[in-house]
Structure 1
Amino acid sequence: MQARMKNPATVLPEVATGVKHLVKAANSTGLPGTTLELVHLRASQINGCSACVWMASQGKNAAAGGEKLWAVSAWREAPCFDDAERAALSLAEHVTRLADLNADAVPDELWAELTKHYDEEQLAALTLWIATTNFFNRLNATVKEPAGTVWS
């Protein structure tokens, strides 16, 4: 498959600059890189973004996801995730599936669980990371970005 056009984030250089700042900020909070990669993969799986799924599982960021990547789609049943990762993965699903949920897209019970594991800066980073993943999933789907080419 060939992309319809270059990825919009590469057409407008200011976008790449902004994304680099976001990545730097998210990584400066002490939030584990593994957690960031796990939620990136889960949101990308939900959205069917083959380019981002490839990047998370096979691309240059795969090592950051650790040994748990194989189980992300079954995170509820897989024994390898800790409570903090489970809360983050649940947040990724809730934020990604806003249209599928009721008016309380992120339930108070989930938020309370998240605050047991993450401080405000880490929650900001996690939320922005998930939103950015959804942003790129939508860009990639629109231009039909082939797996194996994004940011490689």
Structure 2
Amino acid sequence: MARVRNIESTELPPDLAEIYERFAGSYGPFRNQVAVFAHVPAALRHLFPLLMELREAKTLPKRYLEIAIVVVSNLNACHYCVAHHKPFLAVEGISPAGIDRIMQWQDHPELDETDRLVVQYAIAAWETPNRIPEALFRRLRAAFSEAQVVELTLRITLCGFFNRFNDALQIEEEAEAHAAVEGLAAGD
């Protein structure tokens, strides 16, 4: 159980209830997270529509987004986010075992050169953002448009925010997230 109570969408004004339900119904099994964010209407009003709009825009290929999210979530040991994003990354073609060893990216047989670049950049942008090697950034610029670089950086740092938020408030993984991860383990 989270350290604060979950707020149900029925407790919110209609505009916020609509955002809550739209996100919880379409983005993935993040209902417990949305229910905690509902304590702060401005967060609910702005963060979740931003995530939905970014997903709809498809500026950054989903494979690279999910690689970055899983890497940052592993760096922060955020089990909630790894559990939720592991199935999304599996859909993008990386096996469950490959996802489990994504932090060994240098010799990972399921990652191509661009995947490895995303892992390397996610680690650098999260751990040492003021010391990202210029050569790494040049490689990033060669592989991605400026808009994609900005979104990748946004999603890396936003992921770290969500990792810390989820862990600080001990947000529980939803049953659907558990089932998706168990399905991956069973080979479904």
TM over 0.5: yes
Displacement of 1:149 after TM fit? Answer: 6.5
Question: What's the counterpart of residue 123 of structure 1?
Answer: 149
> Does the 8 Å contact 1:3/1:146 carry over to 2?
yes
Question: What's the counterpart of residue 34 of structure 1?
Answer: 63
Displacement of 1:145 after TM fit? Answer: 1.7
**Helix, strand or coil: the match of 1:76?**
helix
Identity %: 23
Bigger Cα displacement from structure 2, 81-90 vs 70-79? 70-79
**Helix, strand or coil: the match of 1:16?**
helix
Q: Structure 1 unaligned segments of length 5 or more: list them.
A: none
Q: 1:25 to 1:77 in 2, by over 3 A?
A: same
1:94 corresponds to which of 114, 124, 129: 124
1:43 corresponds to which of 59, 72, 75: 72
- RMSD across aligned C-alpha pairs, in angstroms? 2.6
Displacement of 1:25 after TM fit? Answer: 2.9
Post-superposition CA distance 1:23-82 (Å, at most 9, x none): 523652542101101110010011011100110124xx3554432534422221112212
1:111 matches 2:111: no
Displacement of 1:11 after TM fit? Answer: 2.1
Q: 1:55 to 1:110 in 2, by over 3 A?
A: same
Question: What's the counterpart of residue 93 of structure 2?
Answer: 66
Bigger Cα displacement from structure 2, 78-87 vs 10-19? 10-19
Q: Structure 2 unaligned segments of length 5 or more: list them.
A: 7-32, 179-188
1:75 corresponds to which of 72, 80, 105: 105
TM-score by length of 2: 0.66
1:144 matches 2:160: no
Displacement of 1:17 after TM fit? Answer: 3.7
Question: What's the counterpart of residue 52 of structure 1?
Answer: 81
